[in-house]
């Protein structure tokens, strides 16, 4: 593996980790700060908690994906396995997004 290929792997990992951090910041921390700065009812607290948990979970998934990508430097993987894992990650994220969207908007 050339140095350029290693750097591309590192950049992909940094990108995934950055997306994970964004999910934690926006989905995890922003609802918490919003709930602490104003008076809210029980339904809003429930929705904020769901968004918080979803943000942390999706952020953690992206972080784990980044660690997996970094593992490619020492153990190059076959392309088909990586494609299957990318599809699985996408499906999981779409399902989680749909679930949290439904749960946070079903009380309206």
pLDDT one-digit tens code per residue, 5-50: 888 888 888 998 998 898 888 877 777 777 777 767 777 777 778 8
pLDDT at 14: 92
pTM: 0.69
pLDDT at 78: 66
Separation CA 29–CA 35 (nearest Å): 10
CA dist 70 → 21, 44, 55, 73, 91 (Å):
17, 39, 23, 6, 22
pLDDT at 79: 65
Separation CA 69–CA 76 (nearest Å): 10
pLDDT one-digit tens code per residue, 44-76: 777 778 878 888 888 888 898 888 888 877 777
Task: Enumerate residues 6+ apart whose C-beta is below 8 A from 106.
Answer: none
């Amino acid at each position: 593996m050339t140095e350029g290929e290693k750097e591309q792997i590192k950049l992909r990992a940094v990108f995934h980790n950055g997306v994970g951090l964004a999910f934690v910041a926006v989905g995890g921390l922003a609802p918490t700060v919003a709930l602490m700065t104003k008076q809210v009812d029980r339904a809003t607290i429930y929705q904020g908690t769901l968004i918080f948990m979803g943000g942390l979970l999706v952020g953690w998934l992206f972080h784990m994906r980044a660690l997996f990508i970094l593992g490619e430097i020492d153990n190059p993987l076959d392309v088909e396995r990586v494609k299957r894992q990318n599809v699985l990650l996408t499906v999981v994220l779409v399902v989680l997004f749909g679930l949290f969207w439904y749960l946070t908007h079903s009380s309206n």
